[in-house]
Amino acid sequence: MDMHVHLTGHGDRLATAETIREFLDQARRVGLKQIGFADHDVYYNELNLPLIREVAEEYPDLKVAVGLEVDYRPSDEGKIKTLLAQFPFDFVIGSVHELNGWAFDYPEEEAVHRQKDPDGMYEEYFRWVEMAAASDLFTTMGHFDLIKLFGVRPRTDILRLAGGALEQIQKKGLVIELNTAGRYKPVGEYYPEVKIIEEIKRRGIPMTLSSDAHRAEHVGRDAGRAAQLLKDLGIKEIIGFDHGQKEYYPL
Ligand SMILES: [Zn+2]
Ligand SMILES: [Zn+2]
């Protein structure tokens, strides 16, 4: 499966039936059982979510879920709640891309990452992830350790820094994605790293698979090797969604 693809990329293409078919054709080509659309909430007004459900009927062999990737900011919780009430989403990914107005995942921000105290930066990031998990707005946490994207590592053990966020995710029954896009960032590894996946497994937090594709040809990228990694770590199933309910797929 691939539970995180961006039909409209960064607002660079239209949500037409033709574009939807390009994504679904690629999903078929790479043998996915389920695909989940999760465009960025900032493009919500340009999306055509009912059209995804309509075109999906042409693909009875493929389970198509309609979700959204929401930029989490603690001050936006009310706004997010209102937005999510507008459509019966199958799943909603909560992602932290910004800390107090600092949009930290743009390539030009790398120098800022290197100037900051790494432990403080990681602590703040995971505090926001913890608040996102506690907000009751999401089914899934996006790219759990995104803050590492430029390869800046903390001095403190990552499990200590991420512990509060993992605790909250476990308590709320949320899903964490194994997001393969990190392999194509400077850090060059999955989100999250293996040590965190082992802790996720220990806590019994369910996982899903995602490419974070921003174009059709990246749908399902590395899904096979990512599934194999989870299997090697002793994880036996991954999660799809239908109207907010988890669906279990054996690995
Ligand atoms: Zn994201
Ligand atoms: Zn994304």
**CATH at 125:** 3.20.20.140
Residue 83: which residues within 8 A CB-CB, separation 6 or more? Answer: 41, 44, 68, 70
Gap from CA of 8 to ligand 1 centroid (Å): 13
Q: Which ligand is nearest to the CA of 141?
A: 1
- Residue-wise DSSP of the chain: -EEEE-TTTTTTS---HHHHHHHHHHHHHTT-SEEEEEEEGGGGGG--HHHHHHHHTT-TTSEEEEEEEEE--GGGHHHHHHHHTTS--SEEEEE--EETTEETTSGGGHHHHHHS-HHHHHHHHHHHHHHHHHTT--SEE-STTGGGTT----SS-HHHHHHHHHHHHHHHT-EEEEEGGGGGSTT-SPBSPHHHHHHHHHHT--EEEE--BSSGGGTTTTHHHHHHHHHHTT--EEEEEETTEEEEEE-
* Number of domains into which the chain is organized: 1
Q: Give residue 38 CA to ligand 2 midpoint distance, Å.
A: 7
Residue 63 CA to ligand 1 center (angstroms) comes to 22
How far, in Å, from the CA of 3 to the mean position of ligand 1?
A: 12
Residue 138 alpha carbon to ligand 1 centre in Å: 14
**With a threshold of 0.75, does the pTM exceed it?**
yes
Residue (of 49, 62, 60) closest to 17 by Cα position: 49
For residue 142, which ligand has an atom nearest its CA? 1
**Number of other CB atoms surrounding residue 137 within 10 Å:** 17
Query: Which residues form the domain of 226?
Result: 2-250
Round to the nearest angstrom and report the end-to-end CA distance of the chain.
10
- Between the CA of 106 and the centroid of ligand 1 the distance, in Å, is 11
- Distance (angstroms) between ligand 1 centre and the Cα of 227 equals 20
Distance 6 CA to ligand 2 centre (A): 6
Question: What is the distance in A from the centroid of ligand 1 to the CA of 95?
Answer: 6
What pLDDT does residue 12 have? 87
What residue ranges of the chain have pLDDT lower than 70? none
Give the ligand at the shortest distance from the Cα of 39.
2
C-alpha 118 – ligand 1 centre gap (Å): 21
Expressed in angstroms and rounded, the spacing between residue 218 Cα and the centre of ligand 1 is 15
Tokens representing 99? 């800390």
Q: How remote is the CA of residue 204 from the centroid of ligand 1, in Å?
A: 24
Q: How many whole angstroms from 54 Cα to the centroid of ligand 1? A: 26
